[in-house]
Structures are given as structure tokens and as C-alpha cells.
Amino acid sequence: MNKVFKYVYRDRTIEKLNSKIKLLGVNSKYDAITFMNIRIITSIILFFVILYLIDFGYILAPIVVYFYYTLLPSLYFDSKIKKRSRELDYDAMYFFEILALSLESGKNLITALRLASNSIESSLSLEFREVIREVNLGKSLDKALDDAKSRIPSDSVNNIILNIRESNLFGNNIIDTLYNQIDYIREKLVLEQRSYIAKLPIKISIISVVFFIPLLLLLILGPVILNYFR
């Protein structure tokens, strides 16, 4: 069925959506054609629901459906991609530290990658297990690492993969670079946590204004209002 619908949609649209789906990881079960079919069906349903339930539905329905259809991929996938990027940054600290220790012990790059990916259960280790699997099937390590970059939304992790590729091609020493990148990621995560903590008082203040202050006023003024009406 998807092969039939493949000719309905533009190749550019399919490719753009597939690039987002790739960033969800090697184990992502999403399919671009299926997602686009669901988007069309739900858009039609939403159009008729607004048309029949709202007085000015004939005006509102096309506008709402247009924004729904246009923004749905970004609204649905971008938050997942952002969450995965943060998760990969956390995974990277442990994964690449094991990789650096393995390389320090004298293991070659392929063996070190295999050891690191088998030592940790994480999203990042799954990506490198896929790299090892592709290498075992005959793909070059450079190409397998390049393909892995297209599945990883984290710039920090992709920078390390780029350094690993250069080390593999030119024989550079990657160990010091790995430790520097690990320190950079650790510092980046600490700064993100500090930024989040700094924003907490503002969020708490907004919640207090919206919810607690009206409730407090109701509790204080409630008896006075009731006595007035009596």
C-alpha cells in the first residue's frame, strides 16, 4: 500500500520527513508514508468536525486544517528529537569515556567501539552497534559513521564522530580529543541544569499568580461576599 502512496506525495516532502524520522534513531518504527496518510485522514476529519460543530466553521475549518496539516510534523517530531538530543549528550559522557579507556589499553578502533557499545545499554550504544553491524556486512567504517551522524541530532556527539572518522582516515591520536569533548559535554550539561534551575523561580511565580493568588483571594473574600448577599 505504501508503494502506491509513494507516487502520490512529492519526493522532496518524503525526504524531508524521512530526515526527521532518522533523527529518532536506528530503532525508530515511524514511516514517512504512513505518517502522511494519517495526517491527511485526520485533517479531513478535523475539517468536517469544525464545519459541523462551529457556527462559522466554513471560515474557521480551512484555516485550522491548514495550520494543523503544515505544523503537525514539527509539533510531533521536534520535541522528540530535542529530547533525544539531550539523552544522547548524557549517554556520550559514559560511552566515549569507555571508548577512550579501550583505546588507551591498546585496542584498535573497531574493537574499542564494539567493547564500548556492548558495555552500556543506551541510545548511543545502539547507534554504534548498528555501525559495527554495517561494518561486519561490508560497509566501510567511514561510511557507517557518516550514516550514524544522520541518525543523531546532537551536535556534540556528531563532532566526536567526525573526530573519530578523521582519526580512522589519517591515523590521528583520538584519545585526548575524546577526553576534551567529554569535558565539554559535561560542562554543557551543567550549564543547562543551572539555566533550568535559574528559571524555576519565574515559573513558580507564574503558577502562583495564575492559581494560588486567585484561590487565596476567594478564600479570604468568600465569606464577605456570602454575607453581603444574605
Residue 26 — pLDDT band, cuts 50, 70, 90? Answer: confident
Residues 131 and 163: their CA atoms lie apart, in Å, by 16
Per-residue pLDDT of 44-77, as tens digits, reads 999 999 888 887 778 888 899 999 999 998 888 9
In a domain, 124, yes or no: no
Residues 163 and 177: their CA atoms lie apart, in Å, by 8
In a domain, 228, yes or no: no
Q: Which of 28, 15, 23, 16 lies closest to 158, judged by CA? A: 23
* Average pLDDT, integer, range 205-223: 66
* Average pLDDT, integer, range 207-215: 64
Per-residue pLDDT of 155-166, as tens digits, reads 989 999 998 888
In a domain, 50, yes or no: yes
**Number of folded domains that form the chain:** 1
Direct distance between the N- and C-terminal alpha carbons of the chain, in angstroms, rounded to an integer: 70
Q: What is the pLDDT of residue 222?
A: 63
In a domain, 98, yes or no: no
Angle, CA 98 vertex, CA 21 and CA 187 arms, to 5°: 70
Percent of the chain exceeding pLDDT 70 equals 82
Angle, CA 66 vertex, CA 24 and CA 81 arms, to 5°: 15
With residue 131 as reference, give the H or E element that holds it: helix 123-136
pLDDT exceeds 70 at position 41? yes
Cβ neighbours, 10 Å, residue 57: 16
Highest-confidence range of 25-34, 123-132, 210-219, by mean pLDDT? 123-132
The DSSP secondary structure of 33-70, one letter per residue, reads: HHHHHHHHHHHHHHHHHHHHHSTTHHHHHHHHHHHHHH
Percent of the chain exceeding pLDDT 90 equals 29
Three cell numbers written together for 168 = 580512522
Q: What is the pLDDT of residue 184?
A: 87
Three cell numbers written together for 151 = 541518525
Provide the domain limits for residue 16.
2-79
Per-residue pLDDT of 166-186, as tens digits, reads 888 887 778 888 888 888 888
Q: Which of 61, 75, 2 lies closest to 33, judged by CA? A: 2
Residues 102 and 91: their CA atoms lie apart, in Å, by 17
